[in-house]
Every structure is written in C-alpha cells, then in structure tokens.
C-alpha cells in the first residue's frame, strides 16, 4: 500500500505495524474482494474498500461485513454482481446501497455520494458523487475516510486518517461545523466511537459538539436511540457518557443523566450521584459474562434518576431520597418510551430500577423466608441481572461497609439457593390451578377465579408450598370469608 501522506517520523514504527495488520486482514478477505474488484474494473467502474472496513483492518479487527464504494449506480452494480453473489438485497437502494453475500461475507456496495442536509430535514438528501475523493470528504471522521482500491490494493488517505488512527483521536475531514451541520447525529457518533475505540475527541470537535448540541433535535428518536445503544455497549461507555454530559448532548435526549449532577450540600452528607452512577455502570460492565448486556447497563445508568426529584434535607442536615426507586422507575419508563425502545426492553430496565433498593435492609435480619420468596418472584427472569445490579450499586469507599454489604448479599444468594432447593422458586405459582379452583368452588371462568388464584399465590409466597388438602382447605376458608359459599 502506498500512503497518500507520509506519517510523522515518530509514528513510523506504530503505523507500519498498523499497516501489517491491515495487510493480514485484507489477505483473509481478498479472494472475494479482489474478485469483486476485477468484475467492476471489467465493467469499466471503480471499486474501493472503504470506511469502517479499512479502519478495522488497520486495527486488526476486520469482521465479515465489508463496505465498498463505487462510481457505478445501483442498477449497474446489480448487473455486475448478478450471478456472482450468492444472495442480493436492495433494502438500502434509495441511499445508493446494494447488499450481497459471498463465501460467508456480507458486502454492501454504495455509489459515490455527495449527500447533504438542508439544515431542517431529518434525513439526508442523497446525491451521487463522481469521485472517490468527494466521497471520502463527506464521511463523518478521518478514521473512516480511508480507502483501499481493488483489485490493486492502492491506499488512499487524503485527510490523515492513518495519523489520527495512530494518535487515537477523532477528527472530521471537513471542519466540524460543516460536518455536524450536514448530519448532527455525527456529534453523537463521535461520542460513540470514543466509547467503542477508547479514542479521544479532538478539541475542535469537542467545541463544535458543545456549540451545536441543540442541532441534535433535528434527528429522529430512532436514529439517536441506535447510536446511544452502541455507545452504551462500547468497550469504554464511561468516556462516551461523560462526553454527552460535558458537551450538552445528553440534555437533548437524556436529560435525566445530566440531572444526576446534584448540587452537593456544604456538609457533603451524600455522595455525588452522577459520579456514583458512572461507577455503577463500570461495575456492571465488569459483571458481564458474554458481551454487552444492554439491559443491565441501562438499568445501572438509570437506577438513581429518581434522586433529584426526591432529594430532601432533614432538620439534622442529613440528605435523603425516599422512594427514589419508585420515581426512578416511572422516569425510566417515560424516557425509554420517548427514545423508542421496544416495550419488552423498557419493561425489563424499568423493573430493575424499581427493584434495585429492595435488598438494603436484608443485613439487619428482618427478612423472613416469605420476603425472600417475594424478592425472587418479583424479579422473575431478571433475578441474575438484579444480583449484578445490586452488587454494582455498592460503591462505598468504606472497606468495612463494602465487605459487610458483599457478605450480606452472599448470604441472601445462599438463602435463595437453599429455599430454591426445597421449593420451585423459579415458578412461584398457587398450589391449585384455575381448573381446580373452578371445580372446587363450582364457578365458571371469570373474576372470582382470578381473585382466588391471587389469594393462593399470596399464601404460597407467605408460607411456602402447601399440600393438596391444605391448599383446598385454604381456598374454601377464603371463599367463605368472601361470602362465595356458605
């Protein structure tokens, strides 16, 4: 590969290593990429591996999804790959993109673009470009504005992306104001790449993000949601979250996060809720076992959002946040709905926020077996995540207190395991089902059956499993008390 601009002398060794990574990665996919490149050349067109694919190749982490750009328009691209690709899709055709699959690789081939926004609309106006340089200039960041031509592997880097990749900095090909003016979502994407790649944002980019944060209001909730989800699932979400707050971007779509920066009282009677929250997120990440658990991370991020609204200072100067988990759950549900998260995801995160304080008090010995059953029943399938969230929420610097909380939760988990071994805690249900209730009471399906079922479940939670005779006796006792039978 020949570089468009020579690297600084101090970077030569590192950049050479990066290029070696790229060569190794490209050799893995080159049979398919080069073959595709030759097909385009024979048809009189250009083809270039571009964007994130080149960036990831240089980082030694190229996946199976490859991005290409070409001067061929979609109809011509279809003609070139028809009969060669194992499958073809046209879902991105309106943006000039044709998708294909070959030998386990997913390929997206996009016509050169020179798209721009009219500064009012929420979607890009796609205009086909005429050159690779024009296409690279309109891309979001310099690290995504490099290309490898196929099949000759010529390297193009007109904006110094290789230097920025080495320096681990996020910079725009054009001025940040021009870039973010075209697509304000790029501001959020800068924070996302900072979180995913552990890169720093260039000071000029940071300044533009701060000055233009309000422009994010032009972007649809769905696009913001998708970028934010990727940010929170990044390798270093804390860096990305701090950027959102520091630049004012969070205030545009997640003001509850900024709101956690409570004014510390002069006697410092409570911890910094914002910093505590970031630590809880960091702790939650450490408990993950297999990749990003978005539901756990989001619950960690929002678990204390009810504190600003519930903050109170007593006559003794002590600060309290009574019922902040209830208020927090309500705020969480509303915010995630506004961000267009699926109902099931919203429900799970909301439930975790509502339950995150339930454990506190266990160490005082107040919990009966009934309380443990209710804890498990209320958490349901979320119990493993609730364990992790509760442990993550312990951020005290007092080692003795931290050790005691950890020991208390160990004891609770041991107690749950003991009771689970004796009872079916995974499915706490009444000892009689609906059919048995209707048969014993002689009633048809309806509200009475539901009320009876709920009563028997309460008995199951309070006293544990009942045998058949005891369950029937309890049902009849309840029915008499309700005036249903004599």
Whether residue 181 is contained in a domain is answered as: yes
| CATH at residue 186 | 1.10.110.30
Look at residue 178 in the predicted model and tell me its pLDDT. 92
The CA distance from 95 to 115, in Å, is 9
Whether residue 262 is contained in a domain is answered as: no
Considering the domain architecture, whether residues 122 and 185 belong to the same structural domain is answered as no
Considering the domain architecture, whether residues 119 and 182 belong to the same structural domain is answered as no
Considering the domain architecture, whether residues 191 and 302 belong to the same structural domain is answered as no
Domain count of the fold of the chain = 4
Q: 97 — phi, psi (to 5°)?
A: -110, 130
Considering the domain architecture, whether residues 218 and 297 belong to the same structural domain is answered as no
Look at residue 196 in the predicted model and tell me its pLDDT. 95
| CATH at residue 132 | 3.30.460.10
Whether residue 388 is contained in a domain is answered as: yes
Considering the domain architecture, whether residues 114 and 159 belong to the same structural domain is answered as yes
Look at residue 300 in the predicted model and tell me its pLDDT. 97
Q: From 412, 427, 442, give the residue that closes a domain.
A: 427
pLDDT class of 402 with cuts at 50, 70, 90:
confident
Q: 401 — phi, psi (to 5°)?
A: -65, -40
Residue among 184, 309, 192, 298 at smallest CA distance from 252: 184
pLDDT class of 161 with cuts at 50, 70, 90:
very high
Whether residue 179 is contained in a domain is answered as: yes
Residue 60: C-alpha distances to residues 24, 25, 385 (Å) = 8, 6, 33
Task: Indicate whether 358 pLDDT > 90.
Answer: no
pLDDT class of 430 with cuts at 50, 70, 90:
low
Task: Indicate whether 32 pLDDT > 80.
Answer: yes
Q: From 227, 253, 279, give the residue that closes a domain.
A: 253
Whether residue 185 is contained in a domain is answered as: yes
The CA distance from 380 to 91, in Å, is 39
Look at residue 364 in the predicted model and tell me its pLDDT. 67
Whether residue 332 is contained in a domain is answered as: yes
Look at residue 477 in the predicted model and tell me its pLDDT. 81
The CA distance from 483 to 377, in Å, is 30
Residue among 158, 208, 166 at smallest CA distance from 183: 208
Task: Indicate whether 337 pLDDT > 80.
Answer: yes
End-to-end CA distance of the chain: 92
Considering the domain architecture, whether residues 277 and 419 belong to the same structural domain is answered as yes
Considering the domain architecture, whether residues 37 and 138 belong to the same structural domain is answered as yes
Considering the domain architecture, whether residues 162 and 15 belong to the same structural domain is answered as yes
Considering the domain architecture, whether residues 275 and 372 belong to the same structural domain is answered as yes
- Show the domain range for 241: 170-253
Considering the domain architecture, whether residues 206 and 347 belong to the same structural domain is answered as no
* Cis status, amide bond into 292, omega within 30 of 0: no
The CA distance from 334 to 328, in Å, is 10
Instruction: Find the mean pLDDT for residues 241-249.
Output: 98
Considering the domain architecture, whether residues 401 and 473 belong to the same structural domain is answered as no
Give residue-wise pLDDT tens across range 140-157. 999 999 999 999 888 899
Instruction: Find the mean pLDDT for residues 293-313.
Output: 93
**Average model confidence (pLDDT) across the chain:** 85
Whether residue 265 is contained in a domain is answered as: no
Cα angle, residue 175 at apex, residues 171 and 177 outer, rounded to 5°: 105
Give residue-wise pLDDT tens across range 258-278. 999 865 543 344 468 999 999
Considering the domain architecture, whether residues 223 and 315 belong to the same structural domain is answered as no
Alpha helices in 111-218 (DSSP H): 132-137, 161-167, 176-182, 185-197, 203-211
């Amino acid at each position: 590969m020949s570089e468009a601009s020579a690297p600084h002398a101090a970077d030569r060794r590192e950049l050479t290593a990066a290029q070696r990574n790229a060569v190794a990665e490209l050799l893995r996919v080159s049979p398919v990429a080069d073959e595709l490149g030759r097909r385009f050349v024979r048809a009189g067109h250009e083809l270039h591996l571009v964007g994130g694919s080149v960036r990831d190749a240089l980082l030694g982490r190229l996946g199976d999804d490859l991005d290409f750009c070409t001067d061929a328009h979609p109809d011509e691209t279809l003609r070139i790959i028809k009969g060669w690709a194992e499958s073809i899709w046209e879902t991105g055709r309106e943006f000039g993109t044709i998708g294909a699959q070959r030998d386990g690789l997913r390929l997206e081939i996009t016509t050169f673009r020179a798209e721009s926004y009219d500064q009012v609309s929420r979607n890009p106006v796609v205009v086909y470009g005429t050159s690779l340089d024009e296409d690279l200039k309109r891309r979001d960041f310099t690290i995504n504005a490099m290309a490898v031509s196929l099949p000759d592997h010529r390297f193009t880097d007109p904006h110094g992306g290789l230097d920025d990749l080495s320096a681990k900095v996020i910079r725009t090909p054009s001025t940040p104001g021009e870039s973010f003016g075209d697509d304000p979502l790029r501001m959020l994407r800068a924070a996302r790449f900072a979180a995913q790649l552990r890169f720093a944002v260039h000071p000029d980019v940071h300044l533009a993000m701060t000055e233009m944060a309000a422009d994010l209001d032009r972007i649809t909730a769905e696009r913001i949601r998708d970028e934010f989800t990727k940010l929170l699932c990044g390798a270093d979400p804390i860096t990305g979250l701090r950027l959102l707050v520091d630049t004012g971007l969070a205030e545009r779509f997640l003001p509850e996060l900024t709101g956690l920066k409570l004014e510390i009282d002069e006697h410092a009677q409570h911890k910094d809720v914002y910093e505590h929250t970031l630590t809880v997120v960091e702790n939650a990440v450490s408990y993950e076992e297999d990749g990003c658990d978005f539901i756990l991370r989001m619950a960690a991020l929002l678990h204390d959002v009810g504190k600003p609204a519930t903050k109170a200072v007593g006559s003794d100067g002590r600060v309290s946040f009574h019922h902040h988990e209830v208020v927090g759950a309500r705020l969480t549900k509303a915010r995630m709905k506004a961000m267009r998260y699926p109902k099931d995801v919203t429900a799970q995160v909301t439930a975790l926020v509502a339950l995150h304080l339930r454990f506190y008090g266990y160490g005082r010995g107040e919990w009966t077996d009934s309380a443990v059953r209710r804890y498990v029943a209320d958490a349901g399938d979320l119990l493993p995540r609730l364990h992790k969230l509760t442990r993550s929420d312990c951020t005290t610097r007092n080692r003795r207190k931290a050790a005691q909380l950890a020991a208390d939760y160990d004891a609770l988990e041991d107690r749950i395991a003991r009771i689970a071994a004796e009872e079916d805690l995974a499915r706490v249900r009444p000892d009689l089902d609906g059919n048995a209730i209707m048969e014993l009471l002689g009633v048809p399906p309806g509200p009475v059956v539901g009320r009876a079922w709920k009563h028997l479940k309460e008995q199951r939670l309070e006293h544990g499993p009942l045998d058949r005779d005891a369950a029937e006796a309890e049902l009849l006792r309840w029915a008499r008390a309700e005036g249903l039978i004599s």
